[in-house]
Structure 1
Amino acid sequence: RLAGVNEAVAVLLLADKFGVPVCPHAGGVGLCEYVQHLSAFDYIAVSGSLDGRMTEYAEHLHEHFVDPARVSGGRYLLPEMPGYSAELHLASRDEHLFPHGKVWSAG
């Protein structure tokens, strides 16, 4: 488990140095939106290759994001907007805000 970009970049650099493959985990809310940037960084600045590279993709929860991850032909497409692609739609944020959001109310 990694806590942020700095740790993920360190892992990518060390893995490349020792020839160890890395598959960024993307199974939670917003993780696909996050790991697409890590994989792009790996390709552009670390490995320069797609050989032996893969990035996990989970097909859910993208509807909550302003700039969701996009996949075509089994590959992530680079985001077209600046930032980490992690901006939530305000309606999604409000509905899921704990403890008073709509999804937390009984009935």
Structure 2
Amino acid sequence: MAMNRSMRKKHRGIYGNERGMTVVVAILIVVVIVIVGFSTLMMVSTDLQIAGNYGSTQKALFSAEAGVNEALSRLRADSANPITDAHPSSATWSVYIGTDVKAQGKG
């Protein structure tokens, strides 16, 4: 019987104190899950910001294109009374793009 106890003590050296290992492993698993969750949250947040910025830039681009197309169509339209403004070197010079009705009031 004394032999069995001494043999058990020898083999317990490495594996004998396993009581705290379950807690350590559980904490490590929780830490890994928290890190993965946090990184996923950050990626989703960044993707949402990218999508919002993309939408804003698309709105701005389409608005700018619409404005350019509107200006071109007004400039191409036949005008009985063309818009005449001061010379571009004047400090008060400005350009008005409008229809005939607006041009008559300006000219």
- Measured against the shorter chain, the TM-score band is under 0.3
Higher relative contact order (CA 8 A, sep 6+): 1
Q: TM-score, normalised by structure 2?
A: 0.17
Q: Looking at secondary structure, tell me which structure has more helix per residue.
A: 2
Q: TM-score, normalised by structure 1?
A: 0.17
